[in-house]
Amino acid sequence: MPRRSDPALCVALVFTLAAGLGCSSPKPQAVEVEVGHHRVRFMLPKGWEHLDHGRQQLFRNGESQISLVDLGPGTRDAMVSELRAADSLWRAGRRRDAFQRVRQLRSPALRLAPSQQRADFWKPWTDATYIPEAVDSFAIGTAFEALVTGTRVFAEVTSESMVEYVLMLSSDMRRRAIGHRDRRMIHGSAWMELETWDRVSHLYRSRTAFLANNGYLLVLAIDHGRFEEAGPGFEALLTSLEVAAGAPRDTLKDPQRTARE
Amino acid sequence: MPRFAQGAAAAFLALACAVGCGKRPESLEPAETFDWVAQPITFSPPPGQWQRQGDNGGGTLGVRFILTGGGGQCIGVAAYRLLAERGRRKALEKLISSRDSLSRREFLSSLSLARARTGDAISEREAATAQIINASLDRAMRDYFSGSPGFLASDLETALQAATAYEPTLDELLPHIRLTPERMQEPGRWRIGYERDTTLAGHPAFASDDTLITPERPLLYREIFWVVHGCAFKAVYQGTPQNLETFYRVTDSIQFPEEANAPPK
């Protein structure tokens, strides 16, 4: 026969259970942000602080910092999209924004091309816009077309050159080497994950992961901090990252840019 | 149960226990490949209590593992970077592959950087190779200025062939890299011991078993030198006899993966 329960014990149990539930750590919150051309959702790991800087999202925990960055066009097609977007800005009467966007154009094809090829690519644009205030509209339109046509001379971007480009921009690779690389499917997106270390001693490990979303590069990287501390945060962020597939954001509809204009 | 059977069983159990409870050496870390010079090297680092440090001094590039609380005991593996950089093959290959996309200034600068050192040759063979390379590069410069791209390509190929054909050997390099107490800061601390020829990962090697006199105690000082595809390496152990086995397990794990940049055998 079961023993009769003590009412005081029951009350204590209920309180303990309630307190346990109430004090349990809150579930990580899903955060949705726009990182340049990408719309992403992630779960902020416990203990990490999130700072939204638009194209650069920062995650800090003590001395450790991880960043999620839009590195811009990664393919030739995305370069063309970027130039077309700048062209649209110019046609909408935002000449300075358009010129700035062209000046900021960067991509693996451009960066890794021989210097003469780069010079040939930029020549029509620099010839036309040497004095931005004096240039006439017909010359600008022609220069835009010349830039778009010029992208065809660059070699197609390979996955190797994309890796080289991402590491070039996200860390000082003069003294580092790739320790491991891996392709991972995370929430339907194909990420390339790289672990880098000091070239000489294989100390100071770090991790970088990137993907090309509609030709635009999205990079998650450990900026600084001890690998043992930053590594788990990086893994938690990476495995929770959901990247919305879709056309790059239209800059013309960007309210911040419109306000600045 | 007969008495002798009981005794045998007890003896077997004691033996099994002795074998099972014996202190087994800690296993090495997973193998890693290091690209200090054109020829990569793979080996398993010692266990975790050997703290790792990069080593970039004395013309070498490598890694040193210092035993925690070991009073200066360490294991080192390194490549002779400065000796490897004397080879001109890589510079010439780069020059040939990028020749068409270089401006005049860039080309002349690369041509100058591809020249071989002649002032301090490590052997007669190296001096002769350097002469061939530099003479070919002189002709290349003349052909460049006279607008003869065909002759220029031929000159560069001749220089590359000479650079590829020459690989320094262990015998040539050993006098420059082996321990010579007179070249050390405190020559009195070193006692040269037993020297011998051996092999490492199938390559000819030279080993020396010396002694380092430290203020606290004398330490074993073991060095092994070897050359693979013209790249010189060394493994060093400085420590007590108890940890010597760990050093030999590290050197036993050394391998040389084939690499695209390594010259053909």
Same domain, A69 and A190: yes
Check B36 against A200: CB less than 8 A apart: yes
* End-of-domain residue from the set A121, A156, A191: A156
What value does the mean pLDDT take over residues A62-79? 94
| Largest Cα–Cα separation, chain A | 100
Name the least confident of A12-21, A60-69, A200-209, A226-235.
A12-21
Same domain, A142 and A200: no
The verdict on residue A2 lying in a domain is no
For residue A201, the distance in angstroms to the closest alpha carbon of chain B comes to 5
Judge whether A222 and A64 are in contact, CB under 8 Å: yes
Check B52 against A201: CB less than 8 A apart: yes
What is the rounded (10 degree) CA torsion for B28, B33, B36, B41?
Answer: 80
| Percent of chain A clearing pLDDT 70 (strictly above) | 83
Same domain, A85 and A201: no
pLDDT one-digit tens code per residue, A170-190: 877 878 899 999 999 999 999
Pick the more confident residue, A137 or B259: A137
- Centre a 10 Å sphere on the Cβ of residue A168 and count the other Cβ atoms it contains: 14
For residue A115, the distance in angstroms to the closest alpha carbon of chain B comes to 8
For residue A60, the distance in angstroms to the closest alpha carbon of chain B comes to 28
pLDDT tens for each residue of chain B, 265 residues long:
455 555 555 555 544 444 445 566 789 999 999 999 999 999 999 999 999 999 998 899 999 999 999 999 999 999 999 999 999 999 999 999 988 888 899 999 999 999 999 888 899 999 999 999 999 999 999 999 999 999 999 999 999 999 999 999 999 999 999 988 888 888 889 899 999 999 999 999 999 999 999 988 999 999 999 999 999 999 999 999 999 999 999 999 999 987 444 544 4
Q: How many domains does chain A have?
A: 2
Same domain, A132 and A172: no
pLDDT at residue B3, rounded to an integer: 54
Pick the more confident residue, A184 or A246: A184
Contacts of A118 in chain B (CB under 8 A): none
SS3 assignment, position A222: strand
Check B36 against A203: CB less than 8 A apart: no
pLDDT one-digit tens code per residue, A9-64: 555 555 555 555 445 555 677 899 999 999 999 999 999 999 999 899 999 999 99
pLDDT at residue B119, rounded to an integer: 83
pLDDT at residue B139, rounded to an integer: 96
d(CA B93, CA B113): 12
Q: Is residue A62 left, alpha or beta, with left meaning phi > 0 and alpha meaning psi from -120 to 50?
A: left
What value does the mean pLDDT take over residues A79-91? 94
Same domain, A102 and A140: yes
Check B35 against A199: CB less than 8 A apart: yes
Judge whether A58 and A67 are in contact, CB under 8 Å: yes
d(CA A220, CA A209): 5
Judge whether A161 and A112 are in contact, CB under 8 Å: yes
Same domain, A163 and A239: yes
pLDDT at residue A251, rounded to an integer: 41
**CATH number for the domain including A239?**
3.40.1000.10
Long-range contacts formed by A88-95: CB under 8 A, 24+ apart: A88/A251, A88/A252, A89/A251, A89/A252, A90/A140, A90/A144, A92/A252, A94/A261, A95/A132, A95/A140
Identify the band that residue A128 occupies on the pLDDT scale cut at 50, 70 and 90.
confident
Same domain, A114 and A96: yes
Contacts of B101 in chain A (CB under 8 A): 114-117
The verdict on residue A166 lying in a domain is yes
Look at residues A53, A33, A34, A97 and name the one whose alpha carbon lies nearest to residue A260.
Answer: A97
Same domain, A70 and A95: no
Judge whether A76 and A217 are in contact, CB under 8 Å: no
**Which phi and psi (to 5°) does residue B136 adopt?**
-65, -40
Check B62 against A200: CB less than 8 A apart: yes
- Centre a 10 Å sphere on the Cβ of residue B84 and count the other Cβ atoms it contains: 22
Judge whether A177 and A206 are in contact, CB under 8 Å: no
Which amino acid is residue B128, in one-letter code?
A: A
* Domain residue limits at A188: 30-74+157-243
Contacts of A237 (CB under 8 A, 6+ apart): A42, A43, A44, A45, A48, A59, A66, A68, A220
Which residue in chain B has the smallest CA separation from A118? B101
Same domain, A42 and A151: no
Look at residues B35, B95, B80 and name the one whose alpha carbon lies nearest to residue B230.
Answer: B80
Among candidates A115, A177, A200 on the partner chain, residue whose Cβ is nearest the Cβ of B54: A200
Which domains are present in chain B? 32-83+170-252 (3.40.1000.10), 88-165 (no CATH)
For residue A116, the distance in angstroms to the closest alpha carbon of chain B comes to 7
Contacts of A117 in chain B (CB under 8 A): 101
CB neighbour burial string for B245-255, b if at least 16 within 10 angstroms, e if fewer: ebbebbbebbe
pLDDT at residue B167, rounded to an integer: 93
Same domain, A107 and A137: yes
Reading the block at residue B85, the tokens are: 């950089």
Is this structure's pTM higher than 0.80?
no
CA distances from B72 to A63, B56, B59, B207 (A): 32, 18, 22, 21
Reading the block at residue A55, the tokens are: 């194209």
pLDDT at residue A125, rounded to an integer: 93
pLDDT at residue A252, rounded to an integer: 37
SS3 assignment, position B156: helix
Which amino acid is residue A241, in one-letter code?
A: L
Q: What is the mean pLDDT of chain A?
A: 85
Check B54 against A201: CB less than 8 A apart: yes
For residue B203, the distance in angstroms to the closest alpha carbon of chain A comes to 23
d(CA A54, CA A39): 11
Among candidates A116, A202, A203 on the partner chain, residue whose Cβ is nearest the Cβ of B101: A116
Check B55 against A177: CB less than 8 A apart: no
Check B53 against A117: CB less than 8 A apart: no
Q: Please list the residues that pair with A181 across neighbouring strands.
A: A194
